[in-house]
Each structure stands twice: as structure tokens, then as C-alpha cells.
Amino acid sequence: MHPTMENVKNSHSEFKAWLISLRRSLHEIPEPGFKEEKTSKFIQGVLKELGISFRANVAKTGIIAELGKGSPCVAIRADMDALKIEEKTGLPFKSRHPGFMHACGHDGHMAMALGACSLLKQMEDKIGGKVRFIFQPAEEGLGGAKYMIEEGALQDVSYIFGGHIDRHYRVGEVVVQDGLICAFSDSFKIDIFGKDGHAARPYEAIDSIVISAHLVTAIQSLVTRELNPTYPSVISIGKIRAGSAHNIIAGHATLYGTVRTTHPEIRKKVLKRFRALVEAFVGSLNAQVYLEFIDSYPPVINDKEATEIAKEAAKSTPGIKKVVSDMPPSLGGEDFSYYLEKVPGCFVRFGALIEGQENIPAHSAKFDFNEDVLEIGANFFKNVAITALNK
């Protein structure tokens, strides 16, 4: 369905249908970080139809759109990239790009932001300042936020807001709380260099697969035995690559994973101990090891005042029945943290559980969310922008 100004202006249910159509169109064209070309074109098309001016090709595929005029300026951010997952939902609007999928809701975030654009456009002369929409590429690991900031996304911005769809909560529940809500995220790569050999004569080789297997288990004892359990921490290995055939001992293995922590001191300790353990452990098994931290996100720390603004906005948003503010910190990483290092803001979570599908997590091939959240998100973004401008 092609959006037009007409069906946006019309009734409530048409607005909802329009948001759903935006989300589904975006869902069909998932693209990885900094390659969101079709996605960017699609968003630009909608902005044009809505009569909203924008700057495209910011940080490659990003877009900055603005409504209103003068100062102050409040920013709303939506992320654009998808994940490297082969979709298995069987939905009629499933991914048309093999190997890629919107599997945590960025398609929904973009639809919400466009929805807020259309709502604000209808009241543009009453906006007391400027609302800037930041459509940001590459949230999943590549830190697109950093590049958007470098290209001026935060210029003159006094507050920034963003949100993430969250299936741990029901539609109508929104998590708005100050302080640390997303963890420090440090991704790593471990290369183990043993020695190739014949599978029948392991004593002539150094088996990097056996070493990897032991290492994966040894790493876990670091979290459970050395770290204070009252500060949540996690180390996960997400990918191992080794070997070429059933009868060859693999001389080289590569392990990829991530360390998540919620306190700067704990982070310092775990990164130091992690390196010591990996090097000593692999060394003791006669292989060489090379550990590299490949990227890291700072934690998302919501500003107190911005959080109050977001709470106030949530309370006046139709469809929001409950504002949650006692969520334990998530160990997820989120590059919204880069914006929050520069300007005060608040990152919220929009409940979007599909009843009966409680056990399908984000980043899974069967991920989907309850589309009733789209209208809530669009109205919240509109409200939070207006509330912040009036502060």
C-alpha cells in the first residue's frame, strides 16, 4: 500500500492501517548496516508525500528530517538496519531479501517515527520549536549513531528520545526509567592457533577445536566465580569457526562473542581477567592465542529530567495503560548511548507481546511483534517531542 497524505489525515483506524502498511513494506526489505538503500529510499518517499523536508545520505544511508522552526530543537531517533537471519515466520509480508530479516523491531521503530512525522505535520504551525527525526543506519554492532553525530545529527538538540519494541511487555505497557538501562557491550574475537594434523594421530597436532571447547566452559566460570553477582554480567560466545573435514585436526579456530556488564568497575575487572584467563588457558594447552576486542558500546544511561518528560508524555498517550519504571537493567547493547553521551535524553521500551507467543525472543528467525504498538509509539514520539519543547 502506498501512503498518501489523504489516508493519513483520515480516521484513527486508517492511521493505524497506514502504520501497519509502512511497517510491513519495510519488513519486506531488510538490509544490513550502512546498506539500507531501499529502506532509505522508502522513508524518503514517505517524507516527500508528507511534505516534510529532509537531508538524505547522512552517514551513508541515514536521513535527518525536520518539522517546525526556530529553537529549541528536540530529536527523535529510529534505527534502520536489519539482522543477518533467514526469516522463518511464514508471514505474508516476510523478508524478500534472503538471509536478512527485521528480527527485533527496527521496521516498527521506523513506522512509529514516520507516524509521529505525519501527526506533527498536521500541527506544524503549533510546534514551539523544531522536531528533528534521525533515521539512523547500522545500530546492530556498527555504531551508526556515532557517524550520525559526526554529521551533525545533534546540532542544537536539547533533548533526544528513542525507543525499542520489547516483547517482554504487553501492548500498553511502556518502560520509562532513569539511570542505566542497557549494558556496556564489548565484542571480541579469539583466534586460537594450534597445529593441523591427521585426525587419527592427534598427538602429532595441536587441536584447536578441543581447546575451544574447554575455553568456552572455562570462560563461564569467570562470570560465576569472580564477579559480584549483584551486578549483572554475561559473557556469551555466539560464533565458532574451525575445521575443514571430519578426518583433519583443525589447527586454527576463531571464536566470536560479547561481554556485557552494568558497572564500570566490574567491566574493567572482567575485561582484564578475561584476557588473562584466555591467554593463560590457551597457552597452557600449547597453542598460541590472539584476543581482540572488536567493538564496544557504552551503556545507555537515561537522564533524570528527560525521563520525567518521557513519563509525562507517556501518561497522556492514548493506548498506554501502564508506565513501568522498575525494570532490571537489560544486558542488551544499544548505540543510542552515543547520543546520550552528548545530550540528555531517554530511551524507552514499548511492550509488544503477541499473546500466545511468549517464548519467541528478539533476534530469532520467528520473531514478530504485536502491531498494535505502532500507533502507541507514533503518538508517544509526537507527545514526547511536544512535551520536551515546552520545557
Q: Which one of residues 104, 111, 116, 138 is an interface residue with Ni ion (CB under 5 A)? A: 104
Q: Which of 287, 229, 286, 285 is nearest to 261 (CA)?
A: 229
Closer of 104 and 113 to Ni ion (Cβ): 104
**Least separation, in Å, of the C-beta of 363 and Ni ion?**
8
348 near Ni ion, judged by CB under 5 A: no
306 near Ni ion, judged by CB under 5 A: no
Residue 165 grid cell = 519494541
29 near Ni ion, judged by CB under 5 A: no
Cβ distance 143 to 297 under 8 Å?
yes
385 near Ni ion, judged by CB under 5 A: no
Cβ distance 141 to 326 under 8 Å?
no
Is 297 among the catalytic positions?
Answer: yes
**Least separation, in Å, of the C-beta of 26 and Ni ion?**
14
138 near Ni ion, judged by CB under 5 A: no
Q: Give the integer Cα–Cα distance in Å for 338 and 332.
A: 15
Closer of 312 and 334 to Ni ion (Cβ): 334
Residues 147, 159, 297, 338: which is the catalytic one? 297
What sign has the CA pseudo-torsion 191, 195, 198, 201? negative
Closer of 333 and 344 to Ni ion (Cβ): 333
Q: Give the integer Cα–Cα distance in Å for 313 and 306.
A: 10
Of 37-45, 97-105, 174-182, 379-387, the segment contacting Ni ion by CB under 5 A is 97-105
Of 25-33, 68-76, 101-109, 206-214, the segment contacting Ni ion by CB under 5 A is 101-109
Q: Give the integer Cα–Cα distance in Å for 169 and 350.
A: 7
Residues 28, 312, 371, 375: which is the catalytic one? 371
**Least separation, in Å, of the C-beta of 113 and Ni ion?**
14
Residue 363 grid cell = 533476534
Q: Give the integer Cα–Cα distance in Å for 64 and 76.
A: 10
**Least separation, in Å, of the C-beta of 183 and Ni ion?**
14
**Least separation, in Å, of the C-beta of 164 and Ni ion?**
6
Closer of 104 and 206 to Ni ion (Cβ): 104
Give the total of residues touching Ni ion (CB under 5 A): 1
- Which are the contacts of 19, defined by CB distance < 8 A and separation ≥ 6? 111, 112, 114, 115, 371, 374, 375, 378
Closer of 27 and 269 to Ni ion (Cβ): 27
Q: Give the integer Cα–Cα distance in Å for 3 and 45.
A: 9
Alpha helices in 10-141, H assignment, sequence order: 12-27, 37-50, 106-121
Coil/strand/helix, residue 58:
strand
182 near Ni ion, judged by CB under 5 A: no
Cβ distance 84 to 99 under 8 Å?
yes
**Least separation, in Å, of the C-beta of 109 and Ni ion?**
8
Residue 314 grid cell = 507517556
Q: Give the integer Cα–Cα distance in Å for 276 and 265.
A: 17
Of 50-58, 104-112, 193-201, 383-391, the segment contacting Ni ion by CB under 5 A is 104-112
384 near Ni ion, judged by CB under 5 A: no
Please give the residue whose beta carbon sits closest to Ni ion in the complex: 104
113 near Ni ion, judged by CB under 5 A: no
**Binding residues for Ni ion (CB under 5 A):** 104
The residues that are catalytic are 297, 371
